[in-house]
Structures are given as structure tokens and as C-alpha cells.
Chain A
Amino acid sequence: MSQTSTEAPPIVSRNTAVGWLRQMLQIRRFEERSAKLYQEQKIGGFCHLYSGQEAVAVGSIGVLREDDYVITAYRDHGHALARGMDPKLGMAEMLGKSAGCSRGKGGSMHFFDAEKGFLGGHAIVGSHIPLAAGVAFASKYRGQDNVCICFFGDGAMDQGSLHETFNMASLWKLPVIYVVENNLMSMGTHLHRHSWTTDLTIRGGTAYGMPGVLVDGNDIEEMARITREACLRARAGEGPTFIEAKTYRFRGHSMSDPMKYRSKEEAEKAKERDPIVLYESLLKERGWIDEQALEDLHEKIKVEIEEAIEFAENAPEPTADELYQDVSVATHIPQES
């Protein structure tokens, strides 16, 4: 049943591979529990879950250096966790606590973690795409070789900010890697109804003179291999790379999406290529993990996420004086009267 490439020798060590599986499981569990907390109305606002797309974030972020940068859109929990954010901080943010990764000011769509080089969590479609180029611009300006990787959905392919930025990123050979997570849906509008071509490498790569690489986003090691190549290219001063990672989100656009635009059959079929199941099979095939170890891993993750929820639920609510904190570096003078 595995469709993951098995011919080439593994590009990762057993330890790394099991670590990646662990991260994917962590993200999945975090998301599924978040869904429940949302239904219990403990999480408010808009909540976009990453279930089904885990291999994209974990595989690509998995090959970055510590001094590289990660920036993403509003479906951001997965990328934050893949970058090593403590799930306690993420969960506390979801529950609007000041112990959260954005002190309860950001919420589900605006996770930040400066220590991990995680620059958000941006909720206006396409709006963070220029920021990524700016981060890469700064690396180049300083003569450093760290890179910035930027994730967005196929819906962002239609924003002007993307096209303006891709031109400049290519023109100035900025060390940035753009990853479109093509889950076939721009909210509820299917790719063939929102894009003149379903081959996004043409619109994102070819059109801007950068390599446009199509990759199976559910194949974590392939995702890692392609990203590693893009990193090398960026660090060598050869400029940006555009990666189209084909994937599928198992849940709706957000928690409030009844998903009337796609059939149950389509969703069920996609689950046959669940990136976690694929990777578990592959690792078992390689003899890198057995049933017992896998079961232990699932159990460990379960406990970890329950602990995160407990931490978040017990964390104090932000106090009213926090309202005025962090508006600006200089003392904020509210223009209230």
C-alpha cells in the first residue's frame, strides 16, 4: 500500500526518521484535540487544522538549520510544532492565555516563536509572502547564508503580493524557499476553478525564472530531499526556489466549514494516502520501528498533548493591564481621550 519512494537509499538516519514520525503524530494529535476543544467552545475565532498535510511541514522544516527562518499563513500549528514549539505554548495560545506562544494576543492564526526563528502565523492570504523575501533580503544584506522558508496554500497563488514578491525575490536572488501546499482548495473553491492551470510550478516557478519543483507533499522524505536542494541553492546565492507540494487537508478550511464542495468519496480516497500511515509503513518496512514501539509512540504523544491541554486550561487568563502591553516598543500612549 505504500506509495512512498523506497528505491533510493533513505536520506535520513533512523533517529531522524522516527523523530519526524513523532512530530507528525504530535501535530495530528494536537489538531484533533483542538477540534474537540473548538467544539467545546474553549477555542474561539477561526481555527484551521493541518491534519493530512503534516509531511509538508515536518519534511521541509526538518532539513533546516537552527538559524534559518520559518514563516507561514494561518494554518500554522503544524509548522510551529515542526519547528519545535512546545505544544504547551501552542495550546495555551489557542485557549487565549498569556502563557501562550503569542501571549494570548494572536490566537490560532497568529502563532509566533522568536526563539525558534518562527515568524508567524499570518492570516491575510498572501500577506506574509513579501515578509519572507524581506527576511531573506536581510540575510543577504548581512552576508549570511541562512534561508527563509515560506508556506502558503494554493489560494495565495492568486494574490498580487505573491506575484510582486516572486519577481523581486528572483530579480535579487534572495535566499528564500516558497512552498505552496496545494491541497486543491482555495477555501471552498477547487483549484481548477481558481487557477487557469492546475500546474502551479508554471505560475510560481517558470513565470519568475526560478526552479519550480513538483513534489508529493505526502512523501515526507521526498519533501525533505527537495527542500534540502532548495536550501543549498539559496545558501550558494543562486536565489529562490518554488516548491509545489501536492497534498490534501482532511478537514474543512476552518472548523466552521461544512465541506459541501467536495464529496465524501474524495475525502475518503485521500485518507488512503495519509502521510502518517505511509511513513509508518515505510519505517516498519525498513525495520526502523515495530508495532510495539509505534504503539508506545502514539501513547507518548497522547500523554504529551493531554499535558499541554492541562497546562493551557490551568494557565491564568490574561489580565486587563496586558491589553496595552506590546503595542509598541516606545510606551504606548492610547489615543482614547
Chain B
Amino acid sequence: MAMSTYREALRQAMDEEMERDDAVFLMGEEVAEYNGAYKVSQGLLDKYGPRRIIDSPISEEGFAGIGIGAAMVGLRPIIEFMTYSFSLVAFDQLVNNAANVRYMSGGQFTVPIVFRGNSGIAGALGATHSHRPEALYAHIPGLTVMMPATPADAKGMLKAAIRSDDPVIFIEHENLLGEKGEVPDDVDYLVPIGKADVKRTGSDVTIITYSRSLVTSLQAAEQLAAEGIECEVIDLRTIRPLDLDTILESVVKTHRAVIVEENWPYCGVGAGVADRIYHKVFDELDAPIKRVTSLDVPVPYAKSLERLVIPSVEKVVAQVKDVCYRS
């Protein structure tokens, strides 16, 4: 174990998997000579050379598709979107090709590819650069969607994604890149796909969250503990497939649930999670499920407005108190 940032953990994951398997390569905008727009790939060009660390033109649809083609014949590409907002330009490739090729070919072709990059409402970037596209991709059968919230998970989840034989939508958060934490240095440290993680145990309320909202939720839990409310905080980690067992086990214990996400409210991840809780364990609930989401507007530029859009500690605290019928 060593202390690393989330950014370094992502780099370690790619480095170790590239070292392990020559079929793994990294392609994207500014990943090579610029050392990554967010410095995630820093130093990898020096180590692996231009054959495996490849700067692409600004052609997301094109290079996403090139990655898929290469994966269909057995390479294991990591395609970096400078930010996941730009994946919208490649939406057809991800949804029609990456997700469907295996099914449409009756299992003859597989697409072992990772599309990775950061996302989120990261600070005065405006509507076009602040997307949280996880709900769009989690909607699609054939795709795996992963969103790490801690440095250790960033490493173990990315390594698992690279080793997966299926297409993985791997969404990081820009504001987490500098977060520090203990990161295992075992080269086979893998976080299994489809497994949520209980990041804090508690008996009164279950908070279900992922990505940057985990940080917000843990802060809220800390504050609530001081007021005598013990929250259990579940980090989904994989958005699709959802680890419903871990969620239900906790809700059956606490009888209360609050879902916190940076996504928009309508048709978002939280809507799907709440639907499943209601249908599976309705009788266990002592209060209606509450959701904290970003507000239902395009993301504004002005920091004073942007602050209002994002789930805050205060909003989480308020909703937890609400499901506990406390004020």
C-alpha cells in the first residue's frame, strides 16, 4: 500500500496492464506528447512509445470506432475521451457498435474495449462540458458502466475493466483526480465488476451513491453522526450491472434510503435504483425513498448558480433527516 492520487491510480492501472499484455494500447486526444490533458497518461509515451500511446486527431466518432474495430479482432484498446462530454460525439459508435456487435453477430465477435475519461459538474465549465452521461450508457444492454470514487477503486476497477472481455464505459470524475488515498500495489489487485462497496456502516439510513457524490455523502454522514443519525453509505462503483443485493441487504437493515447522484433527476440512475427498492422490499421501508440529484437545468457557468445545481452536504443532510422524520 502506498498513498496515491486518483489520477496516479488510474495511470498505475494502465501502466500495469500494458506491461502485462501487449494487446493493450491507449488512444485519444493529447494522451501521448502532451502527457494527457489531465495528466492521467503522464510518462506513458516515454515508457511504451508511439506504437502503444497514440495521439489522435479531434475525431471522437472516428477513433472510438477505430478502437472498436481493433477490439473485434482481438486487441484491447483503452480509448480516452478528454472528457466524457465529448463521448456524445461518438454516441453511435458506443451504442450501436460497441454494445451490439456481440449480440448481432450471434456471439462471433467480442469487443474488449475500455472507453475512459472524466465527467461531472467540475467548475464553471458550462453546459457542454459538464455532462454526467452515465444514465445514457447504463440504459444500454451490452455495456458495462463503472464509476470509481476513490483512488484504490480507480485502480482496481480500471484494471478489471481492461481485463474484461466486454465493452466498458469507465467514467472518472474531474474533481476527484487529485484525491489521495491508500492504493494497493499488487499487480493483480482487481475490484470485481458489478460489486458495490459499503464505504461506511450505519444502522439508521442507507445512502446509495457513486463517484464524486460519495465524498458529499460521507461528509453528510459524518455531520449526521454528530446528531445521532448513523448512515450506511453504499458506493455503487458499477452502475451497470447494478449490485442490487448489497443495496437491499442494507435497506432491509436500515428501513430508510436516500439516493445521491450528480445526475439529472428524470430517468436517472437513482430513478432506476429507487424503482428496484420499491418493488423488492416495499414492506421494509419506514419512509418514502428520497433522492438528491443535480437540479433539472442545463449546467450554468456562474459559480454562484452552479453551486445550486450540485448535490450539497446540506441537501443530503436534509433528505436523511426527512426520511428519519427528524428536523
Is A326 an interface position by the 8 A CB rule? yes
Residues facing A in B58-105 (CB within 8 A) are: 59, 61-75, 77, 92-93, 96-97, 101-105
Is A161 an interface position by the 8 A CB rule? yes
Interface centre among B65, B107, B164, B276 (most CB of A within 10 A): B65
- Name the distance in Å between A223's Cβ and chain B's nearest Cβ: 24
With contacts A165-B66, A328-B166, A335-B272 known, is A134 near B241, CB below 8 A?
no
Q: B72 is contacted by which of A98, A104, A135 (Cβ under 8 Å)? A: A135
The answer to whether A112 and B109 have CB atoms under 8 Å apart is: yes
The answer to whether B109 and A134 have CB atoms under 8 Å apart is: no
In the complex, what residues of B have CB within 8 A of residue A133's CB?
62, 65-66, 69
Closest to B166 in A: A328
With contacts A129-B65, A141-B25, A329-B165 known, is A337 near B276, CB below 8 A?
yes
With contacts A141-B25, A330-B193, A337-B276 known, is A131 near B61, CB below 8 A?
no
- Alpha-carbon separation in the docked complex, A69 to B72 (Å): 11
The answer to whether A337 and B166 have CB atoms under 8 Å apart is: no
Closest to A93 in B: B106
Q: B102 is contacted by which of A131, A328, A333 (Cβ under 8 Å)? A: A328
Q: Mark B221-241, 1 if CB is under 8 A from A, else 0.
A: 000000000000000000011
The answer to whether B166 and A161 have CB atoms under 8 Å apart is: no
Closest to B27 in A: A137
The answer to whether A127 and B65 have CB atoms under 8 Å apart is: yes
The answer to whether A127 and B92 have CB atoms under 8 Å apart is: yes
Closest to A334 in B: B141
The answer to whether B104 and A161 have CB atoms under 8 Å apart is: no
Is B51 an interface position by the 8 A CB rule? yes
Interface centre among B67, B108, B193 (most CB of A within 10 A): B108
Is B20 an interface position by the 8 A CB rule? no
Is B42 an interface position by the 8 A CB rule? no
- Alpha-carbon separation in the docked complex, A91 to B71 (Å): 28
The answer to whether A326 and B65 have CB atoms under 8 Å apart is: no
Q: A135 is contacted by which of B73, B107, B112, B164 (Cβ under 8 Å)? A: B73
The answer to whether B106 and A102 have CB atoms under 8 Å apart is: yes
- Alpha-carbon separation in the docked complex, A328 to B104 (Å): 11
In the complex, what residues of B have CB within 8 A of residue A138's CB?
69-70, 73-75
The answer to whether B240 and A167 have CB atoms under 8 Å apart is: no
- Name the distance in Å between B112's Cβ and chain A's nearest Cβ: 8
- Alpha-carbon separation in the docked complex, A335 to B141 (Å): 8
Interface centre among A105, A137, A171 (most CB of B within 10 A): A137
Residues facing B in A103-123 (CB within 8 A) are: 103-106, 110, 112-114, 119-122
In the complex, what residues of A have CB within 8 A of residue B51's CB?
141
In the complex, what residues of B have CB within 8 A of residue A104's CB?
106
The answer to whether A137 and B66 have CB atoms under 8 Å apart is: yes
- Name the distance in Å between B199's Cβ and chain A's nearest Cβ: 23
- Alpha-carbon separation in the docked complex, A136 to B75 (Å): 11
The answer to whether A122 and B97 have CB atoms under 8 Å apart is: yes
Chain B interface extent, by class: 35 or more
Closest to A110 in B: B104
Is A100 an interface position by the 8 A CB rule? yes
- Alpha-carbon separation in the docked complex, A332 to B240 (Å): 10
In the complex, what residues of B have CB within 8 A of residue A148's CB?
69
Q: A130 is contacted by which of B61, B75, B106, B280 (Cβ under 8 Å)? A: B61
The answer to whether B279 and A164 have CB atoms under 8 Å apart is: no
- Alpha-carbon separation in the docked complex, A26 to B108 (Å): 25
- Alpha-carbon separation in the docked complex, A168 to B62 (Å): 8
Closest to A174 in B: B66
Q: B64 is contacted by which of A101, A130, A329, A334 (Cβ under 8 Å)? A: A130
Closest to B61 in A: A161
Residues facing A in B91-137 (CB within 8 A) are: 92-93, 96-97, 101-110, 112
Is A25 an interface position by the 8 A CB rule? no
- Name the distance in Å between A218's Cβ and chain B's nearest Cβ: 30
- Alpha-carbon separation in the docked complex, A104 to B107 (Å): 11
- Name the distance in Å between B64's Cβ and chain A's nearest Cβ: 7
Q: Given contacts A106-B105, A335-B241, list 12 more A-B pairs with CB under 8 A.
A: A69-B73, A100-B106, A102-B105, A114-B105, A122-B97, A124-B96, A130-B61, A130-B65, A168-B57, A327-B102, A330-B165, A330-B193
Can you list 22 A-B pairs, Cβ within 8 angstroms, ordered by A? A98-B106, A101-B106, A103-B106, A112-B104, A113-B108, A119-B73, A120-B101, A121-B104, A127-B92, A134-B70, A137-B66, A138-B73, A141-B75, A161-B62, A164-B57, A165-B62, A165-B65, A167-B62, A326-B102, A329-B102, A335-B240, A337-B280
Enumerate chain B interface residues (CB-CB to A < 8 A).
25, 51, 56-57, 59, 61-75, 77, 92-93, 96-97, 101-110, 112, 138, 141-142, 144, 164-166, 193-194, 240-242, 272, 276, 279-280
Q: Which 3 A-B pairs have the closest CB atoms?
A: A134-B69, A130-B65, A103-B106
